[in-house]
Amino acid sequence: MAEDLHMISAIVEDRPGVLFKVTSLIRRRGFNIATITVGGSEKENVSRITITMRGAPRVVEQMVKQLSKIPDVIKIIELTPDEAVYRELAMVKVTAAEPAKRSDILNYISIFRGRVIDASTDSLVIEIVGNPTKISAFLDLMKSFGIAELARTGTVALARGPRSSKGDEGS
């Protein structure tokens, strides 16, 4: 059975050690996450940590409950792919010395709405933003040209529509 993708937004106090507490808990309880991102939120002194994971609903529920117990976690919001917009950014360096290859690459970039952000005689650095499946599809194409380096940010997500505050209050 394919396990569904789950996205969890943790709204946390912005202070030293909070990311450590979250990741330490994930490690200690054996949760298997796909990505984790941290950054600012709409409020001062409050950060948003976005975690994606695949797992059975019971495992995800347990992780949400455990995360909620961290006193620095103000709120946890579970987002399903249907109810959320989510994006990832990737930067990929592709070897492209031959002109024919280079034009193929540029075509694909345009189809996937990516951008070239650096170019040299034998390589391109491409920026691509989108949902993670789109990025993976693009990267699969780039593999045939030769990926020299790759950096993915992990997913960030927000709930669709006006909803913003639904979620488990921390305890």
User: Which of the ranges 121-129, 135-143, 148-156, 163-171 carries the binding residues for other proteins, by CB under 8 A?
Assistant: 163-171
CB of 165 to other proteins, least distance (A): 13
Give the residue among 97, 122, 95, 124 at the shortest CA–CA distance from 110: 124
The reply to whether 166 sits near other proteins by the rule CB under 8 A is no
Q: Other CB atoms closer than 10 Å to residue 137's CB: what's the count?
A: 14
How far apart are the C-alpha atoms of 88 and 51, rounded to whole Å? Answer: 12
Question: What's the min distance (Å) between Cβ of 12 and other proteins?
Answer: 7
8 in contact with other proteins (CB under 8 A): no
Give the x-and-dash track for 73-102 against other proteins (CB under 8 A): xxx---------------------------
- Report how far residue 56's alpha carbon sits from residue 1's, in angstroms, rounded to the nearest whole number: 10
Distances in whole angstroms, Cα of residue 141 to Cα of each of 111, 117, 148, 159 = 12, 18, 14, 30
Contact residues toward other proteins (CB under 8 A) are 12-13, 17, 20-21, 24-25, 28, 45, 58, 61-62, 65-66, 68-75, 169-171
